[in-house]
Amino acid sequence: KTVFVSGATGFIAKYIIKLLLDQNYKVIGSVRSEEKGQEVLADFDHNANLSIEIVKDLASLTAFDEVFKKHGKDIQIVLHTASPVTFQVDDVEKDILIPAVNGVKSILNAILQFAPQTVERFVLTSSLAAQINPLAPDSKDKIITEKSWNDATWEGCQTDSMSAYAGSKTFAEKAAWDFMKEHGNEVKMKMSAVLPSFVFGPQLKMDFSSGHLRSSMEFINSIINGKLPPPMFSAGAFIDVRDVAKAELAAFQKDECIGKRLALESDMYTVQDILDYIHKNFPELAKIVQVGKPGSRDEALKNSFKFNNDETKKVLGFQFIPLETTLHDSLKQIDDAKKN
Ligand code: NDP
């Protein structure tokens, strides 16, 4: 079978592509430029089952038309992971909200127009951010489940880039479920959504050339660089990137996942856990890492939301990687890269 993966350069997407190639799927990945395409092909040693197409701008409502005109009849599975994961932007509506939502609309419309009877499954990478409003004052009293929705409004979420990002994931996911309600009987495909919490874990191919790491792994890297994240991130739920990739495959391979929101939380993390772990296990990395307030995990968790994703765990049927392993593997990769 052939799987289309949008956003093939991504931290998460690369693990998805790896698992797909390991399981002998043919993969077509989309990237924004020829140069990025060549990098992705090189990451997978020019595997003959992997090809790349250029989709320049998610904000265009016809962004995916060309790709599905060309390949639609060959694609059975679509995994839509591309979405802005950037926070330093000038205009949150133009740079975050619109590309996130239009990206979903354009890929679904392209399937409807060019591959309505060939695409069988559609998996959207949504987010915990679509389940909870990060700035809501009552979030600490909430138990987040597969049924929870961020109550953000389009205008209201534009106060800061984090709220806009959370809004973008919410509106993008809603657009996908709405599309299925409206057009479900015109297409063969069934949909599932995968909702990762904060994604930690090593990069598939470490690229430290810019001094920064992709996506959420920069969170741990910036702690190593002596910075503490803002208070709203001092505790939260996490999942390992390798589990996200496994869940993305399960989402289309298991019929039990059809119509489901799969909430990916392994456990709660606190920034203090990360500080303690670095000091205890990676002294070379710990030089400018703050000590924080050892023993303050419970206090940080008291002020955080809680989650219950029992339904997801039952459907997926595999154990999520625990915090210690995620931290170890993430930090070891950074430590090794710094030594080389
Ligand atoms: P990355 O930034 O590594 O990947 C994002 C991907 O989307 C990249 O391929 C990027 O392309 C592409 N992209 C971003 N903006 C645009 C745009 N305007 N037009 C075209 N392509 C675009 O992040 P992740 O791998 O972490 O994120 C993948 C998905 O997972 C996203 O949907 C994200 O919201 C979701 N997610 C991530 C979490 C995390 O903690 N990391 C948590 C929950 C959900 P390029 O390389 O060219 O920039």
pLDDT, one tens digit per residue, over 243-286 is: 999 999 999 999 999 999 999 999 999 999 999 999 999 999 99
Give the model's pLDDT for residue 328: 97
* Sequence letter at residue 135: L
Report the chain's mean pLDDT, rounded to a whole number.
Answer: 95
Atom of ligand 1 nearest to the CA of 86: 2
**Which residue puts its alpha carbon closest to atom 15 of ligand 1?**
84
Q: Rounded mean pLDDT of 121-135?
A: 93
12 C-alpha to center of ligand 1: Å?
Answer: 8
Residue 18 clears pLDDT 90, i.e. is over it:
yes
Q: Rounded mean pLDDT of 29-46?
A: 98
293 C-alpha to center of ligand 1: Å?
Answer: 33
**Which residue puts its alpha carbon closest to atom 5 of ligand 1?**
10
Taking the CA atoms of 184, 15, 129 and 65 in sequence, report the sign of the dihedral they define: negative
Q: Which residues, judged by CB distance below 6 Å to any ligand atom, belong to the binding site of ligand 1?
A: 7, 9-13, 32, 36, 57-58, 81-85, 99, 125, 127, 169, 196, 198-199, 214-216
* Sequence letter at residue 326: T
Residue 139 clears pLDDT 80, i.e. is over it:
no
Domain boundaries, the chain: 2-201+236-270+307-321
Tokens encoding 290: 């703050």
**Which residue puts its alpha carbon closest to atom 17 of ligand 1?**
58
Q: What is the pLDDT of residues 79-110, one digit of tens each?
A: 999 999 999 999 999 999 999 999 999 999 99
Give the model's pLDDT for residue 137: 66
| Residues paired with residue 173 on neighbouring β-strands, in sequence order | none
DSSP label at 160? S
295 C-alpha to center of ligand 1: Å?
Answer: 34
CA distance 53 to 29: 6
Atom of ligand 1 nearest to the CA of 168: 34
The burial of 137, by beta-carbon neighbours within 10 Å (0-12 exposed, 13-18 middle, 19 or more buried), is given as exposed
**Which residue puts its alpha carbon closest to atom 36 of ligand 1?**
127
CA distance 34 to 41: 11
DSSP codes of every residue in 5-33 = EE-TTSHHHHHHHHHHHHTT-EEEEEESS
Atom of ligand 1 nearest to the CA of 33: 47
CA distance 252 to 126: 15
292 C-alpha to center of ligand 1: Å?
Answer: 30
Residue 134 confidence class, pLDDT cut points 50, 70, 90: confident
Percent of residues in the chain assigned helix, strand, coil, to nearest 5 = 45, 15, 40
DSSP label at 48? T
Tokens encoding 320: 């999520």
Give the model's pLDDT for residue 268: 96
Give the model's pLDDT for residue 210: 83
Active site residues: 169
Mutating to test ligand 1, I would choose from 85, 91, 169 the residue with most ligand atoms within 8 A of its C-beta, which is 85
**Which residue puts its alpha carbon closest to atom 9 of ligand 1?**
7
199 C-alpha to center of ligand 1: Å?
Answer: 12
**Which residue puts its alpha carbon closest to atom 10 of ligand 1?**
7
Give the model's pLDDT for residue 275: 96
Give the model's pLDDT for residue 272: 96
Q: What is the pLDDT of residues 291-318, one digit of tens each?
A: 999 989 999 999 889 999 999 999 999 9
Architecture of the domain spanning 2-201+236-270+307-321: 3-Layer(aba) Sandwich (3.40)
Report the SS3 class of residue 54: strand
Do the beta carbons of residue 320 and residue 264 sit within 8 Å?
A: yes
Element (H, E) at 135: none
Half-sphere exposure of 339 (CA within 13 A, CB side): 10
Atom of ligand 1 nearest to the CA of 214: 3
Residue 239 clears pLDDT 70, i.e. is over it:
yes
Give the model's pLDDT for residue 142: 86
| Residues paired with residue 125 on neighbouring β-strands, in sequence order | 194
41 C-alpha to center of ligand 1: Å?
Answer: 18
Q: Rounded mean pLDDT of 315-324?
A: 98
Q: What percent of the chain has pLDDT over 70?
A: 99
CA distance 179 to 173: 10
Q: Rounded mean pLDDT of 149-155?
A: 96
Q: Which of 148, 147, 2 is nearest to 76 (CA)?
A: 2
**Which residue puts its alpha carbon closest to atom 29 of ligand 1?**
81
Atom of ligand 1 nearest to the CA of 169: 34
CA distance 137 to 316: 32
Q: What is the pLDDT of residues 200-217, one digit of tens each?
A: 999 999 888 888 888 888
Is the pTM for the entire model greater than 0.80? yes
Task: Give the torsion through C-alpha atoms of 13, 220, 218, 240, to 10 deg.
Answer: 10
118 C-alpha to center of ligand 1: Å?
Answer: 26
